[in-house]
Structure 1
Amino acid sequence: MPGRSVPSRRTVLRSAALTPVAGLGMAACSPGDDGAAPARPTAPVDLGADGEVAKGGTKLYRDQNVVVSRAEDGSLKAFSTVCTHARCPINKLEGTKLICPCHGSEFDARTGEVLHAPASVPLIELPVEVKQGRIIASPGV
């Protein structure tokens, strides 16, 4: 059309490359992000009944990105299950081992410690308590 400028192929490709793709959000892979703060709950989260985690056991709460373990003495620990390597949500728990689906990082669900690279930073510990028979995880500070 006369008088109307047509963008160059380079302009169109550059714009497409800069446009965010819906749905990638936190699951996008960002190599080299070790040490960056992954997402964690922003408000206290009711995970379920206190009896859901047995002594010596662990439970993965996929929808809340939290894992909870209970020591033999009954004390609870909770960790964010957003991988510290590339911020992928961890969706697999085998015994007490969390396995990230993106690059295979493995973490101890009881301590948050890295068991297998590429992650090199432990999971973020979250405050957890039992209130009125419910397990509540908080975002921490």
Structure 2
Amino acid sequence: MNARRRTVLSAGAAALVTGCGSSGGGGGGESSPPASGGAELTGTSEIPVGGGTIFEDRKVVVTQPAAGEFKAFSAVCTHAGCIVSSVADGTIDCACHGSRFSVEDGAVEQGPATRPLPAEQITVEGGSIRLA
């Protein structure tokens, strides 16, 4: 029985390690295009400078902290798991309990959340933003 348990745990650990990759800079995905041709989220012209757009169906928020600089974060609030509700005045806001996160790096600007929004990997190429 213990040998079986070890095998399952080892296989699970291998899957976790395989699924984890380098973020190459933490969410800024301006590097090379994804090998799998990731799913297109939107065009660069659709993301306002200093703001962002929430893609609820993909549970991701894409921001443009400065002109031409695009970032992506999980849209799931780290406090209670709500989907963030808006992006305004330099923050990604959650309406459930009032947490606010920076559009630049996902850091907590206002609690009750204590952990930043995790970065998501995107690529920006030819006016298109793709989820890697």
TM-score of the two chains, using structure 1 as the length reference: 0.58
Whether 1:61 and 2:54 are equivalent positions in the alignment is yes
Of all paired residues, the percent bearing the same amino acid is 34
Q: 1:126 aligns with which of 116, 120, 123?
A: 120
Q: Counterpart of 1:111? A: 105
Matched residue SS, 1:48: strand
Deviation, 1:75, is 2.8
Point out 4+ residue stretches in structure 1 off by more than 3 angstroms. Answer: none
Larger Rg: 1
Other structure's SS at 1:112 match: coil
Alignment partner, residue 88 of structure 1:
82
Contact 2:51 2:88 in 1 (8 A): no
Residue 61 of structure 1 and its aligned partner are, at CA, apart by 2.1
Aligned counterparts of 1:70 and 1:102: Cα–Cα separation in 2: 24
More helix by share: 2
In structure 1, the gaps of 5 or more residues are 1-43
Gaps of 5+ in 2: 1-37
Greater relative contact order: 1 or 2 (C-alpha under 8 angstroms, separation 6 or more)?
Answer: 2
Give the secondary structure class of the aligned counterpart of 2:76: coil
Distance 1:75 1:90 in 2: 21
The aligned residue for residue 79 of structure 1 is 73
Compute the RMSD of aligned alpha carbons: 2.2
**Cα displacement string for residues 61-91 of structure 1 (whole angstroms, at most 9, x for unaligned residues):** 2423322223446232111111001110001
